[in-house]
């Protein structure tokens, strides 16, 4: 039987990603009566589909990193308009990480070889800020916490294991299949499961299939900066078409972005956007509720940009599932070309920067690779032996491939020829591919002198279309450093909070390192949960 919806709660959290679950855990450990509602049938949202890395500057596992170094690095990556938010993040993120370990089964592990995304900037580090986790045995968790959304192709592999194995021929498939059988989780799925388990054991109630439809807030009940008012009074939730009002002192919006609302995306996002790594349940619920309460919004045109591809037949919750292209672009023997058949970007740059480059292209973009790449490196949906799927463009020659993808054959041939010449010399004079620590990390360590360079010279040749995508929109209500939503006049809207991609991400268009999305969301969730509990 479905558990009943309670008549009241001190704090209602909407959304079960890492930000919402951290908020629920923080509030519950402070003694608040917490209800978390998730509109989908599984927990986790975008967080569960992610790699689960969390970027913690100056943390306990960062190997000598300092707040000053982190501030220097983030200066110019994050928006200067929200410097106070950056300062709060740097000061609180290590505390949040310790709190999560102290109140859940999650155990952080430093990614010892994962550089920041812009290693040339002052204050950058080459290791230690990105944290993974130990594999998690879900059999130890509350049964509710095991109900986590899993993406197609999910493998329970830790980052350290990937960094050691790198390519499928080296994977310990017996270990991975055993983990699948026994329910051992890694990545975002493990992070969500551990946080959910911690929240339940701290006393929070979690309901799936329940959607937050609104609050008692209607633009009234505002208070001045730093003040607290009477709270929203209620949260209106919907299950199976039936509305229920829950009396509440605070409501925390953690519903994710508006990736799957076509109207909002068409209004705010770049026209080139065609894909999302967020689940279809992310349709801007939090944004609409905050606007109805009189919130001021910002960063609506920004997102966590990601080049993506669609593998036909892969679906998630009834919609096409999109694969992120992260390390595939840093490997040798592949390039990306635009509709004219020309390279237009350093393919090995961080995905957020590739996403921006894709926004400037008006026609289709393809990633081109040769037979040696196919036989050596992983490409989503493309087997390394056996027949190549019909949706993958192919040709016995570069000219034949050009005809298949609609590019000019002479232009594409010239592009490949220039690329092969660059590989022969070991330097990409056009875009400098493989010249910094991050790009080299994403390459093939066995290839020298530049692990990112390798010619396209082994027929047949293949191409997959690359789509401009996002792993989360960044626009939403502006908040203070504790996640309290700000009103149009600059005061706080009493009892209303927003965290994660449901809030205005004050990072602007910056993306400092692997796991920054989760780190900021969880840190703000931690601050919001504690503040909401104390205010009640």
Same fold, 8-259+474-535 and 307-469: no
What CA–CA distance (Å, rounded) separates 69 from 46?
Answer: 30
pLDDT digits (tens, 9 = 90+) for 457-507: 999 999 999 999 999 999 999 999 999 999 999 899 999 999 999 999 888
Closest CA to 327 of 471, 132, 162, 187: 162
Q: Alpha-carbon distance 63 to 82, whole Å?
A: 27
Flag whether pLDDT at 227 surpasses 90: no
The angle, 0 to 180 degrees and rounded to 10, between the axes of the packed helices 83-102 and 67-74 is: 130
| CA separation for the pair 319, 307 (Å, rounded) | 18
Would you state the pLDDT for residue 231?
59
pLDDT digits (tens, 9 = 90+) for 182-196: 999 999 999 999 999
Closest Cα to residue 436, out of 197, 94, 117, 184?
117
Helices 187-201 and 83-102, interaxial angle, to 10°?
70
Poorest-pLDDT segment among 207-221, 222-236, 442-456: 222-236
Read off the pLDDT band of 386 (50, 70, 90). Answer: confident
Q: What per-residue confidence (pLDDT) applies to 224?
A: 40
- Residue 382 and residue 385: Cα distance in Å, rounded? 9
Query: How far apart, in whole angstroms, are the C-alpha atoms of residue 49 and residue 185?
Result: 12
Q: Which pLDDT does position 222 carry in this prediction?
A: 42
pLDDT value for 219: 41
Confidence of residue 270 (pLDDT cuts 50, 70, 90): very high
107, 133 contact by CB (below 8 A): yes
pLDDT digits (tens, 9 = 90+) for 46-65: 999 999 999 999 999 988 89
Q: Are 380 and 153 in contact (CB under 8 A)?
A: yes
User: The CATH number of 307-469 is which of 3.90.700.10, 3.50.50.60, 1.10.3720.10, 3.60.21.10?
Assistant: 3.90.700.10
The candidate with the shortest Cα–Cα distance to 407, out of 497, 451, 477, 343, is: 343
pLDDT band, very low/low/confident/very high, at 217 (cuts 50, 70, 90): low
The pairing of strands 461-473 and 393-395 is: antiparallel
Task: Report, as an integer, the average pLDDT of 445-468.
Answer: 97
Instruction: Round to whole Å and give the CA distance between 503 and 43.
Output: 19
Take residue 398 and report the two structure tokens written for it. 């570069």
The model's confidence at residue 385, banded by pLDDT at 50, 70 and 90, is: confident
Question: N- to C-terminal Cα distance for the chain?
Answer: 31
Residue 264 CB contacts under 8 Å (≥ 6 apart), including other chains: 258, 284, 287
Res 218 pLDDT > 80: no
**pLDDT band at 226, cuts 50/70/90?**
very low
Mean of pLDDT values over 211-239:
67
The domains of the chain are located at 8-259+474-535, 307-469
pLDDT grade for 315, boundaries at 50, 70 and 90: very high
Q: Which two tokens stand for residue 414?
A: 């010239």
Location of structure tokens 């919004």: 297
Dist. CA 420–CA 112, nearest whole Å? 33
Architecture of the CATH domain 8-259+474-535: 3-Layer(bba) Sandwich (3.50)
Return mean pLDDT, the chain: 94
Say what angle helices 516-535 and 83-102 make with each other, to 10 degrees: 80
For residue 400, is pLDDT > 50? yes
Q: Which two tokens stand for residue 401?
A: 């491939």
Structure tokens at 285: 């619920």
- Of 27 and 490, the structure prediction assigns the larger pLDDT to 27
């Amino acid at each position: 039987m479905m558990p009943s919806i309670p008549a009241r709660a001190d704090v209602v959290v909407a959304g079960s990603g890492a930000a919402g679950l951290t908020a629920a855990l923080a509030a519950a450990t402070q003694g608040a009566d917490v209800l978390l509602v998730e509109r989908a049938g599984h927990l986790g949202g975008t967080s569960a589909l992610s790699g689960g890395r969390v970027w913690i500057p100056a943390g306990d596992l960062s190997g000598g990193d300092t707040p000053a170094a982190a501030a220097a690095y983030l200066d110019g990556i994050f928006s200067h308009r929200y410097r106070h938010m950056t300062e709060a993040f740097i000061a609180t993120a290590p505390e949040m990480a310790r709190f999560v370990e102290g109140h859940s089964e999650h155990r952080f592990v430093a990614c010892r070889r994962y550089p920041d995304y812009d290693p040339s900037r002052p204050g950058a580090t080459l290791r230690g800020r990105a944290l993974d986790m130990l594999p998690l045995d879900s059999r130890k968790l509350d049964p509710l916490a095991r109900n986590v959304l899993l993406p197609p192709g999910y493998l329970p592999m830790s980052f350290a294991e990937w960094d050691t194995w790198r390519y499928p021929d080296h994977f310990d498939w017996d270990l991975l299949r055993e983990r699948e059988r026994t329910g051992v989780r890694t990545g975002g799925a493990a992070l969500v499961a551990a946080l959910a388990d911690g929240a339940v054991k701290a006393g929070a109630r979690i309901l799936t299939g329940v959607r937050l439809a609104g609050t008692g807030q209607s633009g009234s009940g505002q208070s001045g900066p730093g003040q607290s008012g009477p709270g929203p009074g209620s949260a209106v939730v919907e299950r199976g078409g039936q509305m229920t009002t829950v009396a509440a002192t605070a409501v925390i919006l953690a519903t994710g972005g508006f990736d799957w609302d076509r109207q909002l995306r068409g209004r705010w996002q770049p026209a080139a956007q065609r894909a999302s790594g967020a689940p279809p349940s992310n349709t801007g619920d939090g944004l609409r509720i905050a606007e109805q309460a009189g919130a001021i919004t910002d960063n609506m045109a920004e997102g966590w940009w990601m080049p993506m591809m669609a593998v036909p037949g892969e679906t998630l919750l009834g919609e096409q599932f999109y694969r992120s292209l992260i390390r595939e672009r840093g490997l040798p023997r592949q390039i990306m070309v635009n509709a004219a058949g020309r390279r237009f970007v350093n393919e090995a740059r961080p995905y957020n920067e590739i996403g921006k480059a894709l926004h400037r292209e008006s026609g289709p973009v393809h990633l081109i690779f040769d037979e040696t790449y196919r036989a050596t490196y992983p490409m989503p949906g493309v087997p390394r032996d056996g027949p190549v799927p019909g949706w993958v463009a192919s040709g016995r020659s570069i000219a034949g491939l050009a005809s298949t993808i609609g590019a000019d054959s002479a232009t594409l041939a010239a592009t490949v020829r220039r690329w092969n010449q660059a590989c022969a010399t070991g330097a990409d004079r056009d875009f400098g591919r493989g010249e910094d620590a991050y790009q080299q990390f994403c390459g093939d360590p066995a290839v020298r002198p530049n692990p990112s360079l390798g010619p396209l010279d082994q027929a047949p040749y293949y191409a997959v279309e690359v789509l401009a995508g996002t792993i989360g929109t960044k626009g939403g209500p502006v908040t203070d450093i504790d996640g309290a939503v700000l009103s149009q006049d600059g005061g706080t809207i009493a009892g209303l909070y927003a965290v994660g991609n449901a809030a205005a991400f004050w990072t602007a268009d910056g993306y400092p390192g692997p796991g920054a999305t989760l780190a900021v969301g969880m840190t703000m969730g931690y601050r919001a949960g504690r503040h909401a509990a104390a205010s009640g």
